[in-house]
Each structure stands twice: as C-alpha cells, then as structure tokens.
A and B are shown apart, each in its own frame.
Chain A
Amino acid sequence: MERRYIASRIAQTIITLYAVLTLMWVLFRLVPGDPTAMFLSGRLSPEDVEAIRKLWGLDQPLHVQYFKYMKNLSMGDLGISFSYREPVLKVMLPALFNTLILMIPSILMAIVVGTLMGTNLGWKRGSARERIGVVLSLFVRSFPVFLTGIIVLMIFVHLLGWFPLGGMRTIGAFGLSWWERFLDVSHHLALPFGVAFLYYVGDVVVISRTSMLEMIGEEFLQFAKARGLSDKKVKKIAMRNAIIPVITYSTILIGFAFGGQVLLEVVFAWPGVGRLMVNSVQIHDYPVAQAAFFLMATAVIIANLLVDFSYGYLDPRISIQKR
C-alpha cells in the first residue's frame, strides 16, 4: 500500500512538471514582443534578422518548435541562450549558486529562529510579550524587501559606512587566500542576508504561533500534564506537534529560493538567478527564461513531494493506509 502511494505521487509529480513545462512554453510565446527586438533596435537589416530567426529555429511552425524543445529537454539539453550564445546551464548555474548562498542560509535561519520565537509566543498566550512579538513580526513581514533594503542601505552604508554598497565581492582585490575571500563575500552578504531573514522570519513566527495555539487545548497535552510532567517537557511535546505546518511552509520557501528574490538582488546588485530570470523574460531569451522557471517549478514541486512523504514520519496520526 505504502509503496503504491509513493509511486502514484511520483507519477503525479511527473505529470505536473510536464504540464508546467507546456504551460510555460505557451505563455512565453503569448507575451507580446519578439526575441529579435535587440537586433532591430540595433543595426541589423530585415534580411539579417530573418537569418537570425532561422538560426534560432524561430522560423519553424510553433508545434515543431514545441516538439523539438521537449525532445531536447528529455535528453537534458536546455538549449542555447539567445542573448549570451552559450548553453543555458553555463549561464544559469553560476547565478543559481550565487542565489542559493544568499537564500538558503537566510531561510534556514528564519525557520529556526522563527519557529523558536513563534512556539514560545504561542505558549505564552495572552502575555504582553506575545502581543508585542506578533505585532513586530507582522510589521517586518509587511515591509517589501526593496524598502527594507533601501532603509538598511541608508543606515549601514551611507550613514555608518560599515558595509559595501552592493555586489558580491570587492572588485580589484587580488591574491586573496580562500579565507580572506570568504570573509569578503560574507561582508557583502551580511546586509542582503539580514533583509531576507527579516522578510521570511515574520511568516514563520505567525504560523508556528498559530499552530502552537491549536495544540494548547489538545487532550494529549492535558494527559501529559496529568502525568505530572514539568511545564518545559509538556511544551516540548506541544512544539513537536506544532512544527508540522512550519515544515510544510518552509520546504515550499526553500523551493521558491531557487527562483531567487528579484527585488533583493536588484537593490543589492547581487548577481543571482532572479535578475537573470527577469532580464531574460524582458529580452525574450526563451531558453534561459524557460529553464529558470522550470527549475523553480521543479524545486517547489519536489519540495511538496518531500513534505507529503515526511508527514507520515513526523506525525504518525497522518496515515495513508485507510483511504
């Protein structure tokens, strides 16, 4: 039974991915505009533009383009970027790496800190601390990242001068050891990391608090109390049960991390995948745009799949056998 469930979930996932791919392929071609725009605003004559369309296979009927794309993709070939004239993976991987070293630490930190804060707030229901905590987390959450980013830049860069303006490293620094390079990147990373953390932590706090509140009335907690367990131990039991919605939420967050945070990347000049994605949509670089969205979709869908599988392990009450 268990195995059949897993197999069917995987099959569903594959179908979903295929649907996403097709939908994206269609959507990008529905966007008004033309990938040869950058040439026509330049020096090329109409005949030359036609030659480029032919080189890129855009002169073929749409269904032929579609099947070709699917065929190449199934062999792991994402195509060649229209604008960079390089394989898509070569363009995308460095950007993805940059995005992940920013997003993964800040999301993980937000999850750990947010869960601890949220469950504590929930446990201390009705106290002044709880009220302040909730208001504060909603406050940071409701600020858009670019605004927080600009405020942080104003304070820590323009006023105090503690951090660099943006980018990933000090340009022009040579002969650094790996340790110095690590410190340099960390120095550049600090501000965007902080802003991303603030942005994500609010949701986690609110979700874990709510889920903790739901636990409070549960019978198994009363039973634990009745057994004479200390308040600390009872809280621990409640927390273990309360983190399930947080886990659902955070796996999806990590999935979305693969798409980067465009606004954050723009404000801090971070060379990540979000900027690449927006830019390639703007200039109709279909291969790169499709690959970037595909990657993000895959990450989210797989994250969902993992969440489903992990439920059974985390909470034995959730079972799939009696369906």
Chain B
Amino acid sequence: MRKGTIFFGVALAWGFILAFVLGLVMPTAAQGKEPVVLKAWALTYPEPVEIWRVLSDDLRELGIQVKLRNGSIGEWVGDIIRKENPYHLVTMTWSGSPERIEPSWFLTEFFHSSRIERGRNYGNYVSKKFDALMKTQLREMDPEKRKQLLWKAQEIINRDNAFFPIYHHDMIQAYNCDRIEGVIPTMGSCIGWPYNPWTFFRARPKGKIREPRVVNRKDLMSTNPFAAQEAQTMGWMRLIYDTFAKRDKDSKLIPWAAESWNIVDDTTVDIVLRDGMRFHDGKLVTVEDAKFTFDYIMKWKFPMFSADWRNIEHVEIRDGRTLRFKLKSPYAPFVANILLNTFIIPKHIWKDIPSSVGVANPMDWPNPTPIGSGPYQLVEWKKKEYFHLKANKNHFIKPNFDGLYYLVVPTTEGMIAMLEKQQAEIYGFALDAVQANKLDALPYLKTVRVPNHSITEIRPNFKMRPTSDPSFRRAFQYAINRKGLLDIVYQGQGVVAHNTPIIPINKPWSNPNVPSIKFDLGKATQILKEAGYTWDSKGRLCYP
C-alpha cells in the first residue's frame, strides 16, 4: 500500500518533468517557420470575456492562437499604461462620459503620439500627419473647417487600421411610469445619470412621491467639486453647481449660467452672465464670483481642471455681467471643454479656503454642505447608503420634482428588486437586454434605450510583431464579427462601429465615408496569404 503510493508519486513527478522538458524542446525542434501567437488582455468582466470567447474561435479558423489574460482596471493602468504595454491586443470599453462627446477626445487620447508615454495610446501608434492635423483642428475656430480636419484625421486612422473598433452599445435604464412622467433620455446619460440630466430638470412626479428615488451601485465620492474625481460624482456636483454651458437633450451646446458667448477673435471670448441667479444661501451670483472661480482654478491647478484650463491666459471683468477670456492660443473646444465643465463657486465661501479650514490644498476640504446655484441642493449624505437632494425652486430651470434620493445598492439583483418592489423609481445603472425585458413585463415599469457614444475596441500594439504589420491588421479587421458580437453580448442593442472612434450619430463630426468592416474570414485568409503568411502542417498561421 505505502510502497504503491510512493511509486505512484515518483512516476507522477517524472511525468511532469518529462512533459516540461518536451514542452521546452518541441517548439524549437519544429524549427523554421514560427507560428503566430497573440497575447491579448481584457478586463475580468463578462462582456470582454464573451467577446474573446467568440473572437478566439474565429481566429482559430485562421490558425491564430490567442493567449488571453484577464485583469482589473488597476492592472490595466499599472501594467499597460504606466509601463511598456506587453500585449499584442488590449480590449477596452470606454464609457460615454460627457467630455467624450467632444470629437477630438477619443482621437487624441487613442492615437496622438503625445499619449504614448503613460497615456492611453498604449498601442504606440505614431503618425506625423495625424498629429499635425490634430494640432491644427484644435486651433480652428471655424466649425466647418474644423470638421474637414477631423474627417481627414479619421481617414488616416481608417487607412492605418490603427485600432479595431467593435460596437457602441445602447444604454438601457428603467423607471416607474405610474409615478413619473415626461422623462427625457439623452445620449450617454439616458435618464438616471447626472451627466446630461434632462430627466431631473423636466420630468414630472405623477402621484404621491414627489422626490423619486434613483438606485445606483456607485456611491458619491466627494462633495467638494474640485476633489470630485470620477465622472458620476462630477455629474452630481454639476447639478448642485451651475456650469456656464450645458448640452441640450440632443447633445447640442446651449447657454446655461452664461446667457451667451461671443468669439471676438481667435484668442478672445466674451461671455455674458445670466441675470438674477442666486446661490442656495440666497446671495446673488455675480460676475465677481465667475471671475473668482476661474482665478481659483488657475491658481490651484486642480488636476481635474488643468489640461484644458491651461489654455487661458487671463480673465477680466468687462462690465457688470460680461467676462472676457484671453486665450494663449486659439482653442476650438473652448465651449465644449471649458464652459461646459466650469461651474460657479460662491466667492464669499471659497475666498478663505483652504487657510481658514486648516488644510494645505482646497481639495482636502470636505465641503460638507456644498453651496452652489444649481437646480438641486444637497441636504444629506450618508456614505455607502444614500444622499438626498432638494430641488432649488428658484432656479431658472424650475425642476418639477421636489427633490431626489440617490440610493446606493451594491448588487444588480438588489437594484432590480428595488424597482420591482416599487421601493425606487429610477434605475440609475446600466441594464442589459435580458434584465430590461424582465422589467418591461411589469405594467408599472418602462425601459428606455438610447444610443451611447461609448465604444468597445481592441487596440493593436504597433511595437510588436505581427500587429505592427499593416496587412496583418487589415486581415484582423475582417476576422471580427461585429454584428455577431453585438448580438451575443448586448442582444443587438447598439450599433456596430465604423472604423473610427466617433459614433456615426455624433454629427457632423463622425466621418460618414469611413466604412464599417464586414466579417469575412475568407477575405482575411486571402490578405494574409498575399502578405506571405503561411500555414504549417497543424494549420497554425506562421510568419512570412
């Protein structure tokens, strides 16, 4: 008995050693042609895992082996962005946060050479012509000419197959139609996200509940608008503090706290402040407060505010309501990036911050009772539990709700149950198609589906073989079954991507001449063959 066990153990150990040695020797023994093995990276979420399950099957047809590694967002930043990207292909879904509607955002962040070092261009794509176009468009204040430049930039990306876009999935949320009416879905925000919250401005309560409850998984992170670090918290802060511009329900830029803006010349912009706005503490919003805000941001160089605001030379008061901006150089997205994101803080509160509260940087002040001029005011925040906003009935938008409750529910099942049991009115997270159908079946619930400018894409690494080879990249495009993936992962809720990061409905910026590449393994094989790739006896694709 004991002898038998020992013998078995020894045999097993020898087996392992033998297998290991063989594994080392075999590939080199088969000398000559080297087979293509791709190292891919994706998040440990169901969506990318599903994408790779389908994609690796199709790639196997082409004789391409894939080694997939799944990791966290932290790993993505630590290993791929901050260090030299060691993967051939990196998969990512980019959410539709509001600044990404601005057409140059994705193009610059994905493909500009300045974003290679520690930036989001971890595919190491370099094109001098593209870089030059991006620089020119940023300074082009005429929208029509700017559009032409951006279209050209997208053509270069298309020609070089600088990335493999897959789809833009729809955003689905739900609400209780017995209790709320007149919701206004917007691109990227749907009805429950605060980025472009027209539902919170215009929807009406139908019954007893005048302060609807929104469920979400994420908690607010801070009530200090300068410390707000992620998009949702920033969104809520911009409901409490008024920004100078906003997007309307069709994502067009419209005046908000600024009544109008006027581009005097390429580097001078005037804005006129809206009359009669008041902060939540009753004090009038003055042009002094507006100027103070810009000076404050420029003085403290808050990380969340520095990139775009660095372009401002100085700000001066022209008269009781007019503010003049002097820019260092012409800056096309001035309204979209600066006026849309800068909110007005009350000078009478912030002028002594941080010295009067005993911290070194204003970001370290919790700002427990934020006073802004926005359509909602924060009344209470219990971390990881809920926060409560009261409507500011003096605001020019005059919200119809009396307030909002935002409940933090850590699981999807919990959030869905809250709506089913009518313990919440608005589903503020993203639903998938199956969950949506389930909720739609209830008479008092309605789902809302809107296109989203988010994008799911795979980025090839230009510093590694074979993704550095233009023919290989072209062939790879044909191996992606975009429609099939959208059907499997999102039950077809969304649009397949064209060969540009800008969603086709983001008009006029998305270039309509850039095609969407159809799934065609035959074509992929042909391109690979023409480029000199061969297949070995086991059917593996080998380098030329």
Contact = CB atoms under 8 A, between A and B. Distances in A.
B469 interface: no
A214 to B, nearest CB: 32
B405 interface: yes
A284 B74 contact: yes
Contacts of B418: 165
A46 interface: yes
Given A85-B363, A85-B366, A94 B382 contact: yes
A172 interface: yes
Contacts of A316: none
Contact of A48 (B81, B222, B304, B423): B304
A52 interface: yes
B82 A83 contact: no
B181 interface: no
A169 B408 CA distance: 12
B72 interface: yes
A95 B383 contact: yes
B74 A43 contact: no
B364 interface: yes
B307 to A, nearest CB: 5
A85 B362 CA distance: 10
B213 A85 contact: no
A31 B73 CA distance: 12
B229 to A, nearest CB: 6
Given A33-B75, A80-B364, A271 B306 contact: no
A271 B405 contact: no
A32 interface: yes
A36 interface: yes
A73 interface: no
A153 B420 CA distance: 14
Given A51-B301, A85-B227, A33 B74 contact: yes
A43 B105 CA distance: 9
Nearest to A164: B423
- Interface size, A (range): 35 or more
B118 A49 contact: yes
Q: How big is chain B's contact interface, by range?
A: 35 or more
Interface stretch (A217-225, A233-241, A275-283): A275-283
Contacts of B306: 47-48, 51
B407 A266 contact: no
Contacts of B222: 84-86
A48 B302 CA distance: 8
B221 interface: yes
Interface in A169-200: 169, 171-172
Interface string B201-242: 000000000010100000001101001011100000000000
A48 B307 CA distance: 7
B304 A36 contact: no
Contact of B213 (A31, A94, A172): A172
A275 B219 CA distance: 12
A269 B304 contact: no
Interface stretch (B161-169, B250-258, B280-288, B409-417): B409-417
Nearest to B92: A41
A164 to B, nearest CB: 7
Contacts of B405: 171-172
B76 to A, nearest CB: 7
A42 B366 CA distance: 21
Contact of A37 (B74, B304, B411, B421): B74
B358 to A, nearest CB: 12
Interface string A204-218: 000000000000000
A271 B423 contact: no
A55 B118 contact: no
Interface in A134-162: 153, 157-158
A27 B118 CA distance: 24
B242 to A, nearest CB: 20
Interface in B102-122: 115, 117-120
23 contacts: A32-B72, A32-B75, A34-B77, A37-B72, A37-B73, A37-B78, A38-B230, A40-B77, A42-B230, A45-B307, A46-B115, A47-B306, A47-B307, A85-B364, A167-B407, A172-B213, A172-B388, A172-B405, A269-B410, A271-B385, A271-B408, A275-B410, A282-B74
Interface of A: 31-52, 55, 80, 83-86, 90-91, 94-95, 153, 157-158, 164-169, 171-172, 265-267, 269, 271, 275-276, 282-284
Given A55-B303, A158-B417, A172-B213, 8 more contacts: A36-B77, A42-B229, A48-B303, A85-B224, A85-B366, A167-B385, A269-B410, A271-B382
Closest A-B pairs by Cβ, 8 of them: A33-B74, A271-B384, A37-B77, A34-B78, A46-B118, A85-B227, A48-B303, A34-B77
